[in-house]
């Protein structure tokens, strides 16, 4: 069996979207001819580790603490003294280089010290997965050291949407980005919009590997009519309330206030930040619908899985007001997580989002961008007239299917074939 080294700063048991991507796919890869060796950090968390620990190289501590509402801030930890002043200006005044991060000086240094032990794993190919960008730097370095081809997995773009206030830094970031990707065999990303933008930037083959979902076969026998017997219809969301999602949250609260539906409860498990929780509560009280909202604390993946499975409507909040430059092509992991459940999905997001394409292909729900659309979709759902669940379309997005697609790309790269 061929071996692939996957460089992934975030990997189970830590529980975040970056860890879920390869954390879910690695268990399927041997089925398609590839044994994964994962280079990652030491971490704590609630996600199951699906491959033997002997296949994992854990170096350095992971900064993320899922027990806290907000990930811990390491500040200047790991930054060499000579670079602390430039780093201060870089972070404080918006002199952003998206292709460079502090982990180059922390985790990157730790990996470099252990490079000989890593090379002894005798891998045939490398995947470097960003975020953070340090993995891309390490992928390039280890490819050169071992003479093995490598693939850049860009869940988050590097310089494409640089927010720096200074044109010179944007130009420099673009130069660094292209330098990093210059000798990769291909780029992997998570949506067709991002793929198109990256092809124009890198002039490299770009392949789409969706984040996917697990436990596909568990859902075939689910009966929607069992859930419909409840008097109270449960709307459900579990996740983090980033600032760009708040207008979408308020649109749903407005609907709760204006709707004549008395039998509705919106349950949300919030990962924070605390300020967002407070803003939601304040707005719900202002609209006099606080009794229709149940704000819950973070919970284990098993509890969230059960609650999503039992929901009547699954809600997805994204960038309704186009505050983020890359939100058009964002396909959140939460969308993939929702796909195999029977409850319809209502995504509140910008009208040109790629989310709508996935929902239409799978007949799994609706994308809405204004109050009229939201009200119309809710009427359809409450009248039992939403599209029929199409399992054959949905299972294309399973992690097993995505792992198979990934391994075909690895085969092409290993054999030196053109994409």
pLDDT digits (tens, 9 = 90+) for 202-239: 999 999 999 999 865 444 444 444 445 567 889 999 99
Cβ neighbours of residue 76 closer than 8 Å, sequence gap 6 or more: 84, 87, 102
**pLDDT at residue 97 in the model:** 85
pLDDT digits (tens, 9 = 90+) for 110-153: 999 999 999 999 999 999 999 899 999 999 999 999 999 999 99
- Tell me the CATH number of domain 2-212+398-415, given options 3.40.50.2000, 2.60.40.1730, 3.40.309.10, 3.90.550.10: 3.40.50.2000
**pLDDT at residue 66 in the model:** 61
Query: In a 10 Å sphere around its CB, with 0-12 CB exposed, 13-18 middle and 19+ buried, how is residue 84 labelled?
Result: exposed
Separation of alpha carbons 20 and 24, rounded Å? 6
Beta partners for residue 265, in sequence order:
234
pLDDT digits (tens, 9 = 90+) for 12-41: 999 888 999 999 999 999 999 999 999 999
- Domain spans, the chain: 2-212+398-415, 216-395
Asked whether the predicted pLDDT for residue 339 surpasses 90, the reply is yes
- Does CATH place domain 216-395 in 3.40.50.10800? no
**pLDDT at residue 69 in the model:** 44
Separation of alpha carbons 372 and 186, rounded Å? 43
Separation of alpha carbons 256 and 150, rounded Å? 50
**pLDDT at residue 225 in the model:** 40
265-288 per-residue burial string, b: 16 or more CB within 10 A, e: under 16? bbbbbbbbeeebbebbeebbeebe
Q: What is the dihedral of CA 245, 240, 22, 300, to 10 degrees?
A: -150
Which of the residue ranges 157-166, 178-187, 249-258, 381-390 would you say has the lowest mean pLDDT? 381-390
Separation of alpha carbons 188 and 65, rounded Å? 27
**pLDDT at residue 165 in the model:** 79
Using alpha carbons only, what angle is made at residue 330 by residues 94 and 241, rounded to the nearest 5 degrees?
70
Q: Which residue carries 């290993």 as its tokens?
A: 414
Average pLDDT, the chain: 88
3-state SS class at 206 = strand
Q: Which residue carries 């399927």 as its tokens?
A: 28
Same fold, 2-212+398-415 and 216-395: yes
**pLDDT at residue 132 in the model:** 92
**pLDDT at residue 83 in the model:** 65
pLDDT digits (tens, 9 = 90+) for 259-279: 877 789 999 998 888 889 999
């Amino acid at each position: 069996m061929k071996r692939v080294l996957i460089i992934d700063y975030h990997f189970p048991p830590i529980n975040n979207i970056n860890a879920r991507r390869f954390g879910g796919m690695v268990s399927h890869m041997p089925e398609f001819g590839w044994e994964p060796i994962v280079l990652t950090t030491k971490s704590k968390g609630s996600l199951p580790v699906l491959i033997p620990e002997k296949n994992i190289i854990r170096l350095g501590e992971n900064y993320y603490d899922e027990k806290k509402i907000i990930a811990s801030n390491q500040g200047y930890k790991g930054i060499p003294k000579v670079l602390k002043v430039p780093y201060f200006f870089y972070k404080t005044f918006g002199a952003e280089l998206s292709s460079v991060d502090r982990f180059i000086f922390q985790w990157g240094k730790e990996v470099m010290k252990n490079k000989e032990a890593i090379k002894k794993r005798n891998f045939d190919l490398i995947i470097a997965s960003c975020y953070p960008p340090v993995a891309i730097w390490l992928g390039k370095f280890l490819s050169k050291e071992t003479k093995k081809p490598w693939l850049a997995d860009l869940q988050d773009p590097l310089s494409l949407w640089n927010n720096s206030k200074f044109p010179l830094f944007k130009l420099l970031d673009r130069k660094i980005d292209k330098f990093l990707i210059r000798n990769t065999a291909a780029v992997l990303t998570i949506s067709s919009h991002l793929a198109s933008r990256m092809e124009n930037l890198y002039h490299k083959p770009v392949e789409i590997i969706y984040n996917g979902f697990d436990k596909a076969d568990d859902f075939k026998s689910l009966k929607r009519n069992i859930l419909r017997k409840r008097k109270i219809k449960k709307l459900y969301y579990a996740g983090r309330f980033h600032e760009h999602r708040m207008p979408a949250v308020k649109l749903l609260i407005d609907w709760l206030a204006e709707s004549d539906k008395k039998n509705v409860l919106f349950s949300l498990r919030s990962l924070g930040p605390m300020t967002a929780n407070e803003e939601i509560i304040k707005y719900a009280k202002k609209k006099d619908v606080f009794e229709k909202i149940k704000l819950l604390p973070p919970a284990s993946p098993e509890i969230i899985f059960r609650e999503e499975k039992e929901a009547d409507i699954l809600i997805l909040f994204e960038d309704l007001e186009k505050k983020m430059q890359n939100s058009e092509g964002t396909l959140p992991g939460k969308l993939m997580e929702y796909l195999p459940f029977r409850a319809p999905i209502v995504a509140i997001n910008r009208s040109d989002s790629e989310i709508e394409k996935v929902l239409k292909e799978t007949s799994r729900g609706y994308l809405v961008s204004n109050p009229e659309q939201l009200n119309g979709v809710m009427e359809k759902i409450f009248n039992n007239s939403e599209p029929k669940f199409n399992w054959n379309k949905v299972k294309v997005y399973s992690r097993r299917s995505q792992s198979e697609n990934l391994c075909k790309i690895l085969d092409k790269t290993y054999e030196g074939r053109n994409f």
